[in-house]
Structure 1
Amino acid sequence: MSKLPNATASIFSVMSQLANKHNAINLSQGFPNFPVDERLLQIHERLLNENIHQYTPMAGLPSLLNKIASLTNKNYQREINTDTELLITSGATQGIFTTINALVNYGDDVLILDPSYDSYEPSVLVAGGKPVRISLNDDYSPNFNRIEAAITAKTKLLIINNPHNPTGKIWNEQDFEALETILEKYENILLLSDEVYEYISFKHPHISVNTRPKLINRAIIASSFGKSLHVTGWKVGYLIAPEPLMKEIKKVHQFLVFSVNSTAQHVITKYLDIVNFDEISTMYANKRALFLEGIQSSCFKILPSEGTYFQVVNYSEISNKNDVEFAKELITKYGVAAIPISVFYKDATDKKMLRFCFAKTDETLINAVKILNNI
């Protein structure tokens, strides 16, 4: 009997394949199409002839762990123990899967806020847990009344995603205070904070769970070098968690991947000495501005994008079709690929919304804008 009887090809694969078939501009799948930093390539080339091609320690390359600890202290003023509170993972998705399968037992409830990244629910199901999907507010802020109402004696874990994929929403101080008030009442509930877009924020600064003393002793925080450094194909992420939780996570990790790509770990270690994350955020802010200014006069209604490299729009003035059908039409008829937001909901809530990825070359964005303005 299948553990994932309803699993099908992801919408990202479907839309990308359709975009390739129709030679459409692909603003659907969330990965950059521009070259990585030349300095990163130079480090990679320089290190390839060195003895870096064997297993690293299971938890990660010690020098990289130390760099992450320094980065966390610099940005969040949190000191972490590299031996007991940090783990390099094969991308954040593997880290999230490992966390859920290490900490969620059969019959446990896991609260997931919709619209949500598509890996959360399958990970819970494989662990034998029960996904409990809770809709965000219309502006995609968390609805804490709904969250608290969903808590039962079986609730083991709450998953939050900040900055938020697919909407670009960022939690504010009041959101975290409300969350802390709730969790103080339920001391056995753990928190998994997906923060893979932590270094891509615009108008409002990203608030990390790393900065919340009331939460860090029960929180697992997932980060991604793939997203932060736009090297998604390298699949290198990391988890930060208190020692008792990390001990259980490492038990699963060692039998799932054991250790992560050694070359990527060595290169990233060196690159962290020279990269400026503020410059990366500024670069994406410029791309966001280019895309938004370009479609300002279109028939698409633009929703706020506070972080990530995604932009959500409403197309209700253009078509009455459901978002999946309109997204397909956008590819086949007009030549631009996007992701329909309904696929991020358990009940396929359709609000006539699409997600565009603006982590693309300026030329790609300009060409897409020309098409979108004529729809």
Structure 2
Amino acid sequence: MASSPSVSTTQKDAFSTQNDSTRKTQQPLQVAKRLEKFKTTIFTQMSSLAIKYGAINLGQGFPNFDGPEFVKEAAIQAIKDGKNQYARGYGVPDFNSAIAERFKKDTGLVVDPDKEITVTSGCTEAIAATMLGLINPGDEVILFAPFYDSYEATLSMAGAKIKGITLRPPAFSVPIDELKSAITKNTRAILINTPHNPTGKMFTREELSTIASLCIENDVLVFTDEVYDKLAFETDHISMASLPGMYERTVTLNSLGKTFSLTGWKIGWAIAPPHLTWGVRQAHSFLTFATSTPMQWAAAVALRAPESYYVELKRDYMAKKEILVEGLKAVGFKVFPSSGTYFVVVDHTPFGLENDIAFF
């Protein structure tokens, strides 16, 4: 057998030096045009600064405590039981059933767990699969600003035209006349996030009913991001799909992470009638195909938690919200009302800085 050619120490050193020099050459950043306008997410920036300065991170949406033991133990048991291979593409059957059971309790709607529920890798993937699976290039999609940054990015990937309707303080009410003016023959969907990130607004029944009427009248779909549905403090959460005539044109998006303080598990789902589920699943199949198997088994256990769990969750967050709000007011912020989520919006102008970026 022929021996490998030898390389002297001098040759290796020269190669290493040349290689290091090549790597250190500044290369222009490359990104597809559909994403070139987007920068590093504000969540990444704030989390990095919080780590750098040892600050409390009030930016990214995750709690500073862990999820419940009974859910974590269920995941450990699932791993020990060998539930570690690919799951069925649209979800472990028991988890799909648990989602359907929870949805019926919350909305009164009966859905087929095998035909109308798609399990995804977090709600963020459910959002992406919905946009990519149901939106065509040039379609108009209406968003309520401010909004979760992945909405705009995934719509840009889909080639959609985005129309923003601004929710303004202090009540962040939906400007119905602006919404009516924004709807055209090219409007494909309206995206609603309630309870709303980051304002903490709960869309009222009147607002939802008006939006529903406009959607029916103009044959428009609704995508509803409801990840904070269990963190509704002052009034009960209302799911758009439960309103008359709306289930057939609604995709309801949700996840495990916020309700069970397990954001790192990335377990989400989309609920929609079969004709809309088809598009969601087609995109999901080529994004992630399937979501973590043992975590889905544990998520099924989580969703079957007694109602007392949700009562205690809301009680604990309301107590923490009061501490945060009073603390922010005490140091000089103007704090706007928050009816849900674990976010509050504050006015920084009393500190005399030019804008939020300067304050940040």
Q: Does TM-score exceed 0.5, indicating one fold?
A: yes
Identity rate, percent: 34
1:246 match: 277
1:249 deviates by: 1.2
* AA at the equivalent of 1:42: E
- Residue 106 of structure 1 aligns to a residue in which SS? coil
**In the aligned structure 2, how far is the partner of 1:42 from the partner of 1:258?**
26
2:314 aligned to 264, 278, 281, which one?
281
1:64 deviates by: 0.7
Q: Does 1:208 align with 2:239?
A: yes
Which stretch shows the higher mean deviation, 216-225 or 137-146? 137-146
Residue by residue over 1:259-297, the C-alpha shift from the partner in whole angstroms, topping out at 9 and shown as x without a partner, is: 100011011112333352222222211211222233343
1:317 deviates by: 1.5
2:145 aligned to 114, 117, 126, which one?
114
1:94 deviates by: 0.6
1:137 deviates by: 3.4
Map 1:289-300 onto structure 2 (within 5 A).
289-300=322-333
Q: Does 1:140 align with 2:159?
A: no
1:128 aligned to 146, 159, 162, which one?
159
Higher helix share: 2
TM-score (norm 2): 0.87
1:362 match: none
Map 1:218-233 onto structure 2 (within 5 A).
218-233=249-264
1:90 deviates by: 0.5
1:236 deviates by: 0.4
Q: Which has the higher contact order (CA 8 A, sep 6+)?
A: 1
2:50 aligned to 19, 33, 39, which one?
19
1:134 deviates by: 1.7
1:321 deviates by: 2.4
* AA at the equivalent of 2:98: K
- Residue 48 of structure 1 aligns to a residue in which SS? helix
**In the aligned structure 2, how far is the partner of 1:91 from the partner of 1:235?**
4
Q: Does 1:196 align with 2:227?
A: yes
Q: Does 1:315 align with 2:348?
A: yes
1:341 match: none
* AA at the equivalent of 1:96: I
1:180 deviates by: 2.2
**In the aligned structure 1, how far is the partner of 2:304 from the partner of 2:218?**
41
**In the aligned structure 1, how far is the partner of 2:249 from the partner of 2:107?**
17
**In the aligned structure 2, how far is the partner of 1:285 from the partner of 1:273?**
23
Residues 274 and 174 (structure 1), Cα distance of their counterparts in 2 relative to 1, 3 Å cut:
closer
Q: Does 1:178 align with 2:210?
A: yes
**In the aligned structure 2, how far is the partner of 1:112 from the partner of 1:217?**
20
Q: Does the 8 Å CA contact 2:83/2:293 hold for their aligned counterparts?
A: yes
Aligned residues: 326
Q: Does the 8 Å CA contact 2:109/2:242 hold for their aligned counterparts?
A: yes
1:81 match: 112
1:28 match: 59
Residue by residue over 1:130-154, the C-alpha shift from the partner in whole angstroms, topping out at 9 and shown as x without a partner, is: 1111212333121111111011111
Q: Which runs of 5+ in 1 are unaligned?
A: 328-375
- Residue 252 of structure 2 aligns to a residue in which SS? strand
2:200 match: 168
Q: Does 1:40 align with 2:71?
A: yes
1:2 deviates by: 1.9
**In the aligned structure 2, how far is the partner of 1:169 from the partner of 1:243?**
30
Q: Does 1:263 align with 2:310?
A: no
- Residue 239 of structure 1 aligns to a residue in which SS? strand
**In the aligned structure 1, how far is the partner of 2:77 from the partner of 2:155?**
41
* AA at the equivalent of 1:179: I
- Residue 244 of structure 1 aligns to a residue in which SS? helix
1:361 match: none
1:330 match: none
**In the aligned structure 2, how far is the partner of 1:170 from the partner of 1:38?**
30
Residue by residue over 1:89-108, the C-alpha shift from the partner in whole angstroms, topping out at 9 and shown as x without a partner, is: 10001101110111111111
**In the aligned structure 1, how far is the partner of 2:330 from the partner of 2:45?**
29
1:127 deviates by: 0.8
Q: Does 1:305 align with 2:338?
A: yes
- Residue 310 of structure 1 aligns to a residue in which SS? coil
- Residue 317 of structure 1 aligns to a residue in which SS? helix
**In the aligned structure 1, how far is the partner of 2:155 from the partner of 2:76?**
40
- Residue 21 of structure 1 aligns to a residue in which SS? helix
Residue by residue over 1:336-366, the C-alpha shift from the partner in whole angstroms, topping out at 9 and shown as x without a partner, is: xxxxxxxxxxxxxxxxxxxxxxxxxxxxxxx
Q: Which runs of 5+ in 2 are unaligned?
A: 1-31
**In the aligned structure 1, how far is the partner of 2:335 from the partner of 2:167?**
18
Q: Does the 8 Å CA contact 2:185/2:218 hold for their aligned counterparts?
A: no
**In the aligned structure 2, how far is the partner of 1:3 from the partner of 1:216?**
31
**In the aligned structure 1, how far is the partner of 2:101 from the partner of 2:270?**
15
1:304 deviates by: 0.4
Q: Does the 8 Å CA contact 2:88/2:290 hold for their aligned counterparts?
A: yes
Q: Rg larger in 1 or in 2?
A: 2
Residue by residue over 1:304-359, the C-alpha shift from the partner in whole angstroms, topping out at 9 and shown as x without a partner, is: 010001111112222232101102xxxxxxxxxxxxxxxxxxxxxxxxxxxxxxxx
- Residue 235 of structure 2 aligns to a residue in which SS? coil
